[in-house]
Amino acid sequence: MRGPVSARSVFTAAAAGDARAAAVVADEATLVAKAVCAVITVVDPELVVLGGGIGQAPGFAAAVTARLRRLAPVLPEVRVSALGSDAVVDGCLASGAGLAWTRLAALLSARPALTGAALHQRRNQAVLSQILGAAK
């Protein structure tokens, strides 16, 4: 492989028959399988979903599954995410928007509500400020 190295270029080179790239992909599949095996041992899920650019790489889920067969006490179904490689970014944005909404709602509920005489006084002050500002 020559030039800049990215996950995509390594997977492309491996698919084209580059032995070094194929070894890197195999090592990555083993690492992912070991991490998934640790989760399987504790949680025992029926389904494991691989996402992101690496999870979407052709044949990677099959390579992880092959290694899991040798490592895991039970074998869940392994699938590739239907959400594509933007799933992480989309999840972060959704989480951030949820957090912002929660904080905004907490701030608004902590402010005393203006009702009755207090609301009337606030409006009068605003009108008076406009009049005095215009008179200058």
- What pLDDT is recorded for position 88? 75
Q: Do 53 and 8 touch, CB atoms closer than 8 A?
A: yes
Instruction: Spell out the domains of the chain, with CATH numbers in brackets.
Output: 7-135 (3.30.420.40)
- What pLDDT is recorded for position 54? 84
What is the pTM for the complete model shown?
A: 0.62
Phi-psi region of 6 (alpha: psi -120 to 50; beta: other; left: phi over 0): beta
CA distance 124 to 117: 10
- What pLDDT is recorded for position 62? 94
pLDDT digits (tens, 9 = 90+) for 98-120: 899 988 888 877 766 666 777 66
Q: Do 53 and 89 touch, CB atoms closer than 8 A?
A: no
Q: Does 4 or 126 have the greater pLDDT score?
A: 4
pLDDT digits (tens, 9 = 90+) for 52-95: 778 888 889 999 999 999 999 899 999 998 887 777 788 888 88
- What pLDDT is recorded for position 125? 76
Distance of CA 59 to the CA centre of its chain: 22
Average pLDDT for residues 18-46, to the nearest whole number? 94
- Tell me which residue of 3, 7, 4, 43 sits closest to 24, measured CA to CA: 7
